[in-house]
Structure 1
């Protein structure tokens, strides 16, 4: 079921910077052709230019179904197929939960969760018809563990992305299509540009781990696709914490609550 990278066609949303850009480079180095999409056309063009003949660019706002349809049509027109779809766009609303307004919740859900829903509507029929391909959804360690109470809309949507990805794996893998869920820890990107702050904010919490560069994560994603792995972690220790959480959720939450009191 693993995708052969040589001459595969990949679509990467949020590909103009950070993890998306790094993954585009990793896939191109392995022989894939990449449609780099971003809501910032200049950034998409720059990354596609870095990839040379293996990259083309498109402006894409994942809250607009028609933008994703245009990207699909461009990929099919230029390359005749789509093999890999990486859904990699995310924004944050940060602050005490009682200070984050409803419209901020709606915006985060529209981008982080419904952006993937729209992508599924557009690209899954192509993958299912050809009976091959791979989908990568970028979630977060905040979608696995309950640290992110100061960024609750992000945490809620990333938990939803993990659950959506698990269900997609059950549906798509019998149809010859791989599914991976990327759950990165802290990565040096420009995601701060996508953060809106409300009320008095406190420093974000999470598992203690070093800050990774985006290039390392891009390689992990490409490896995960090649190996047809579902869960792609950048912090291996998270697996141990997941086991602790699964063994006794009450005890696990009690430990975390004691740490913040």
Structure 2
């Protein structure tokens, strides 16, 4: 196993689910982590747990829809640790419903969080990556849209596929080897993501699927660790992580 010791990793959406699991795992493996989310009390508690277990953790209250918050996250990371090796764009929402419901407010929210939030992260981290001569952008995407769009998931899948496109564009612009990119696409994971789903039937079915086949958030965290522990001349461009039994 390659070492994560000395890596400085900022993680959005770190107050629960995949973000929390990633912060805990990376800290256990020797990385210093900066947890970012809107729920200050939650990320403070997780960071305290990490420190009590011998790890290094800091926090920053962040709403990813606000560009200035992502700038502050990068600044906090630089002030605390002197550099930022990895930004994990994990924050996301899924208020999915049939297009015929015309829930334009939810459409806008998904665009703001899932896509614009990721772009805000790119805008904040890329100058720092360039200045220090290296950096790694990791985004938690989704298997949604990989092989056709499931009913009621058109806008959600569109935002996630847009993130893939941005990743590929950044990869092609970064042939000097300074910036690496990794898109990690989970399938059913046992998190509270379905809480944001506005259609009651879809939300209920999603939770049933999570209960029946969902994998733990730690499975995705291990994929994040695998991608960022690679040597600088190796880029893991995309990883799909889903239950073995998921169609």
Same fold by TM-score greater than 0.5? yes
Instruction: Give the aligned partner of residue 190 of structure 2.
Output: 188
The 2-side partners of 1:79 and 1:146 are apart by: 42
* Residue in structure 2 matching 1:229, options 210, 220, 236: 236
> Superposed, which structure 2 residues align to 1:1-261 within 5 Å?
5-52=4-51, 53-197=55-199, 201=202, 203=205, 210-227=213-230, 228-235=235-242
Deviation at 1:217, TM superposition (A): 1.4
Aligned length: 234
The 2-side partners of 1:212 and 1:102 are apart by: 31
Deviation at 1:42, TM superposition (A): 1.5
> Which has the larger helix fraction?
1
Give the SS at the match of 2:100.
helix
Map Cα deviations across residues 127-176 of structure 1 (whole Å, 9 max, x no partner): 01212121101110004232433122211101111111111222235332
Gaps of 5+ in 2: none
Map Cα deviations across residues 230-256 of structure 1 (whole Å, 9 max, x no partner): 111113879xx9xxxxxxxxxxxxxxx
Q: Where does structure 1 differ by over 6 angstroms across 4 or more consecutive aligned residues?
A: none
Q: Which has the larger radius of gyration?
A: 1
CA contact (8 A) 1:10 1:83 kept: yes
The 1-side partners of 2:138 and 2:67 are apart by: 19
Gaps of 5+ in 1: 242-261
Comparing 228-237 and 34-43, the one that deviates more: 228-237
Deviation at 1:118, TM superposition (A): 0.7
The 1-side partners of 2:3 and 2:145 are apart by: 29
Give the SS at the match of 1:137.
strand
The 2-side partners of 1:173 and 1:149 are apart by: 38
Give the SS at the match of 2:114.
helix
Q: Alignment RMSD, CA only? A: 2.4
Instruction: Give the aligned partner of residue 251 of structure 1.
Output: none
Relative to the length of structure 2, the TM-score reads: 0.86
The 1-side partners of 2:143 and 2:63 are apart by: 24
The 1-side partners of 2:86 and 2:39 are apart by: 21
CA contact (8 A) 1:92 1:153 kept: no
